[in-house]
């Protein structure tokens, strides 16, 4: 019985610790169900732009929003066409998009998370 309560407490604490990130991903999914990928990226970047430099939690929430949104949003014409098919070229493309951003690494993560549906996974 004691073990069951300890396990329940661990689950509750774990959920509380990741709460803001999980909430951001759920907000992203809700947004993505109503908007195309290009708008997921725009909204995710807008959220990232509100983050203060060094605010890792805020940056992670922007990426979580982008990831959740990118999982469900519809591909809109032309959005995916801008991303190279070759992974190395895609990395360079994304890096170039973020060179002027105050937080280039976070910017790259947001773009990559929003654009995941542009790439086919093995077996698709």
**In the chain, what are the domain boundaries?**
19-118
Residue 15 has pLDDT above 50, yes or no: no
Q: CA Rg, the chain, in Å?
A: 17
Residue 7 has pLDDT above 70, yes or no: no
- Spatial distance between the Cα atoms of 48 and 65, rounded to a whole number of angstroms: 10
Quick one: pLDDT band at residue 18, thresholds 50, 70, 90?
A: low
């Amino acid at each position: 019985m004691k073990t069951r309560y300890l396990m329940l407490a661990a689950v509750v604490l774990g959920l509380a610790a990741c709460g803001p990130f999980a909430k951001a991903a759920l907000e992203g999914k809700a947004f993505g169900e109503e908007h195309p990928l290009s708008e997921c990226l725009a909204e995710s970047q807008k959220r990232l732009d509100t983050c203060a430099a060094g605010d890792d939690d805020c940056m992670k929430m922007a990426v979580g929003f982008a990831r959740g949104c990118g999982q469900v949003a519809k591909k809109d014409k032309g959005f995916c066409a801008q991303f190279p098919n070759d992974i190395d070229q895609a990395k360079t493309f994304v890096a170039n998009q973020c060179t002027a951003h105050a937080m280039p690494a976070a910017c790259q993560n947001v773009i990559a998370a929003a654009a995941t549906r542009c790439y086919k996974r093995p077996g698709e």
